[in-house]
Structure formats: structure tokens, C-alpha cells
Amino acid sequence: MGKLVALVLLGVGLSLVGEMFSAFRERMSASREVEPVEPENCRLIEELENGSEDIDILPSGLAFISSGLKYPGLPNFAPDEPGKIFLMDLNEQNPRAQALEISGGFDKELFNPHGISIFIDKDHTVYLYVVNHPHMKSTVEIFKFEEQQRSLVYLKTIKHELLKSVNDIVVLGPEQFYATRDHYFTNSFLSLFEMILDLRWTYVLFYSPREVKVVAKGFCSANGITVSADQKYFASRMFCLRNPG
């Protein structure tokens, strides 16, 4: 009788796991047919062979690109090379990617850039906020952009206990931003298990020097984020939420 009960429980468990995995494949569109498309005006941008994770564009047409992300569970094209920030002038007919030099005492060997966001101050100074993963932790680095020298000056590193598994940020003001947490677990196996089970334990948080708080939760994987021009609404992945501030 005990063996029969064990077999029944095993069968029920395997059935539940199968249903969860099937639902996971559907959410990821794993069975979707992809038709090849020949774009007319696309070309390969050299210098970005290690991947391009995020891009943010100034009104002038200068684009910042983060490259070289090393992320648990994902293939890495240059495991021994640090990540970089590239600059492209989209006003050019054939724009080229140029790696930006970083000064100011920043540890470039541990640079592992993920999401990025631009902030333009009242005096027109451009600041670049970068999600960084040194030693697979999560910090936010603040740089000042020197347009004439085409370089970045390191200013500050932001750390906080809620800044874990940070994917992307969108800056609202000086040291004020929304950030997304894309996984609850940092272990790659547990992260996959988390997504298969659709645990929805990730969130969006608001950071400022005076207050840090979770403003939206219940995401299966809070990923990219943006904000409306009036900063009343922000959107993360396919969820559009009202700015509680």
C-alpha cells in the first residue's frame, strides 16, 4: 500500500512539474515560429562583438551602449575582459562604436555593466547611471560625461540592501531612480527554478538619498524599465503602473 501511495504522489508531482514547465515554455514563446527577415538598412556594428545590453540616447543623437555583460546562466563571449561603455553618434551616415575611457579612480577590471540611464542636469551636464555587477553583486555607478574628451569621469557608487539582482534603471533626478530586480535568487539554478514556478517575487524599487522603497511587486522577472516624460507613469516589461510618488 505504501509503494502505491508513493507512486501516486510521484505521478502527481511529475504531472505538476510538467504543467509548470509547459506554462513556462508558453510564457517564453518557446514554440513560436520565427520567420527570417532580410532588413534593408541594417549592418553589423564593429567593436560590439561582446554583445550590447542596453542603450540610451541623448537629444543630440549621441548614444551610450553597455557591452560585455557577464550574467549567471548566460553565455559569455569574453570572460576575461571587463565590460565597457561605448558611444555612437547616430547623426553620422555610418556610425562607429567608440569605447569610452573612464577616469576618476574607478576599478575598470570589475566593470560588468547592465542597464543604463542618462540624466541631464539644469546646467546641461550629462550624467550616466550604470547598473554594475562586480563579483556578481549589484551596484549603481554614477559617471559624468565629458563630451569634448569623449570620456566618463567616475563620481560615485550607490549600494543598498534592496539593490539585488538589478537589471535596469531609469533616472528621475540627481541620485533618484527606479530600478528593477529581475530575479529573487542569485543562484542560476534557483533562478531558473523560480521562473519555471512563476513565483513572481521580483519588484521595482525607488531610490533616493532620503528614501528607498519597493513601489511595485509581483513580477515574474522585472526587466527593462522606462518612465513617461512627465514622470507620472513608469513601465516595466509588459506591466504599466501608476507612479505612487
Place of cell 513608469: 234
User: For residue 187, what is its C-alpha cell?
Assistant: 543562484
Is the CB of residue 245 less than 8 Å from the CB of residue 176? no
User: What span, in angstroms and rounded, lies between the C-alpha atoms of 185 and 163?
Assistant: 13
Amino acid at 99: A
Q: What φ, ψ does residue 230 adopt, rounded to 5°?
A: -90, 0
Say whether 223 counts as a known binding-site residue. Answer: yes
Say whether 167 counts as a known binding-site residue. Answer: yes
Residue 17 bridge partners (DSSP): none
Q: Is 135 a catalytic residue?
A: no
Q: How far is CA 48 from CA 65, 75, 239, in A?
A: 9, 15, 30
Say whether 230 counts as a known binding-site residue. Answer: no
User: What span, in angstroms and rounded, lies between the C-alpha atoms of 110 and 97?
Assistant: 21
Say whether 53 counts as a known binding-site residue. Answer: yes
Among 114, 124, 135, 160, the active-site one is: 114
Is the CB of residue 112 less than 8 Å from the CB of residue 121? no
Is the CB of residue 216 less than 8 Å from the CB of residue 204? yes
Say whether 54 counts as a known binding-site residue. Answer: yes
Is the CB of residue 235 less than 8 Å from the CB of residue 219? no
Q: Nearest to residue 50, comparing CAs of 88, 77, 84, 81?
A: 77
3-class SS of residue 216: strand
* Residues in the annotated binding site for Ca(2+): 53-54, 116, 167-168, 223
* Residues in the annotated binding site: 53-54, 116, 167-168, 223
Residues with a known catalytic role? 114
